[in-house]
Amino acid sequence: MYGISDAERRTRLGRRHLLAPSVRAASAVSVADAVVALHATDAATVFLSTCARLTEASVGTVEQALYEDVSLVRLLSMRNTLFTVSHEIAPYIDASNARAVAAKERRTLLKHLQDDGSGLDERWLARAEEETLAVLAARGSATGSELSAAVPALRTKITVFPGKKQETVQGVATRVIRVMAAEGLIRRDRPRGSWTSSQFRWTEAEPWPVQDTAGAQAELALRWLRSYGPATETDLKWWTGWTLGQVRKALAAAGAEGVRLDNGATGWVSPGDMEPEPALEPWAALLPALDPSAMGWGDRGFHLPAEHRAALFDRAGNVGPTVWWNGRIVGGWAQRADGEPVWRLLSDVGREASASIEAEASRLSEWVGDTRVTPRFRTPLERELTA
């Protein structure tokens, strides 16, 4: 079996994830497609991840793609997590992942309505959704609070988990809006506040074209392999949230080819993708919490030293801001209250690397400007650096 070394995997990561200066992209859509999907649970991550890979880092470039061109869209999809993807790949992610997530979200909401015992049912939910869409059609966009003020049904409160320890009374607005967004009936529009805000306005959307689930999974697996291969079945299972059976069918349908990894495991690449990558210039990167280059594999051993994990991840497995040198995670960074980026190296990388990291920190400061970014998921090293 043909072998692909960890060193080659790191070169692939630097080139295919657009991290070396010579391969950076001109558009936000090119960045999203290069990594398949950008984590969007934390609104700031989309901007930080994208600008780290742009030749000309700019908040305006990302905002135009998200809110004016709508060439980037947010979908609740893999692992029931919010991602930002290009308009082109969105239908495949909808069919392969998001549609199942949306169905589960609707079932969960209907069960909560039924358990409440106040007579709220599927017909009540359909009317609430119709009224919400009517308001958006009239206004163009609205925040969740504005929708609740305009749609009486959204001000309804229900008892969740009645009779159990976690029993609580909740408003239905957030849950109804979440279901509608998951099903593609509405989408997140420009937020209130800055680009780091998650208080989105909502606007109408057209559901994605219906596609065959198995075919969409094969297409998504192929695109993922082009960006993350070689990778194992376990890596793809972790990233997608699919069953092992679905992973194997998707790999087979995509024509994936097996290779030997340095740890002895079998990795998979897209058809014919075994040639070595051309060498890259030395490169450094400061990537944000939840960046796909750190979160794209279940087993990150080829780029993350095991001894660094405790400092860089929270207890739920979310990675914090990371410092990279030539395809390895070598430290972490944060932004102090005065806006200055500060970092700590966990590996000895030498003077050249330190100078490159300094240059990346300056580039980051220049485009971030006066904005202050605090990751939603705080990690030990990030907390220490901001203390």
Q: Are strands 168-171 and 72-76 parallel, antiparallel or unpaired?
A: unpaired
CA dihedral for 129, 134, 140, 144, sign (positive or negative): negative
Residue 84 within any structural domain of the chain: no
Q: Is residue 122 in a domain?
A: yes
Q: What is the DSSP letter of 264?
A: S
The helix/strand/coil state of 16 is: helix
Which pLDDT tens digit goes with each residue over 326-347? Answer: 999 999 999 998 889 999 999 9
Give the pLDDT confidence score for residue 1 in this predicted structure.
82
CA 67, CA 46: separation in Å to the nearest integer? 13
Which domain covers residue 130, as residue numbers? 90-204
Contact yes or no for 271/300 (Cβ under 8 A): no
CB of 135 closer than 8 Å to CB of 150:
yes
Give residue 366's pLDDT band: very low, low, confident or very high (50, 70, 90). Answer: very high
Average pLDDT over residues 229-235: 98
DSSP SS3 for 87: coil
pLDDT mean over 171-196: 95
Phi, psi (degrees; rounded to nearest 5) at 38: -100, 130
Using the predicted structure, report yes or no on whether residue 117 has a pLDDT greater than 90.
no
Q: On the CB side of 111, how many CA atoms lie within 13 Å of its CA?
A: 8
32 pLDDT exceeds 90? yes
Report the C-alpha gap between 51 and 47 in whole angstroms: 6
Is residue 165 scored above 90 in pLDDT?
no
Looking at the structure of the chain, the number of domains it has is 1
Mean pLDDT, range 131-160, rounded to an integer: 95
Mean pLDDT of 225-230: 98
Place of tokens 């229900």: 158
Residue 145 above 90 pLDDT? yes
Average pLDDT over residues 35-64: 97
Give the percent of the chain with pLDDT over 90.
92
DSSP characters for 132-162? HHHHHHHHS-EEHHHHHHH-GGGG-EEEEST
pLDDT at residue 118, as a whole number? 87
Judged against a pLDDT cut of 90, whether residue 297 lies above it is answered with: yes
With respect to residue 80, please indicate whether it lies within any of the assigned structural domains. no
Compute the mean pLDDT over every residue in the chain, rounded to the nearest whole number: 96
Mean pLDDT of 303-311: 96
Residue 185 falls inside a structural domain = yes
Residue 186 · residue 141 · CB < 8 Å: no
Q: Which pLDDT does position 39 carry in this prediction?
A: 97
Is residue 180 domain-resident? yes
Q: Judge whether 138 lies within some domain.
A: yes
What is the average per-residue pLDDT within 304-318?
Answer: 95
CB 53 within 8 A of CB 24: yes
Secondary structure of residue 378 in the 3-state scheme: coil
Domain assignment present for residue 136? The answer is yes
111 band by pLDDT with thresholds 50, 70 and 90: very high
Residue 187 lies in a domain: yes
First to last CA, the chain: 50
Instruction: Give yes or no for a contact between 373 and 67, defined as CB atoms under 8 angstroms apart.
Output: no
pLDDT tens digits, 94-110: 999 999 999 999 999 99
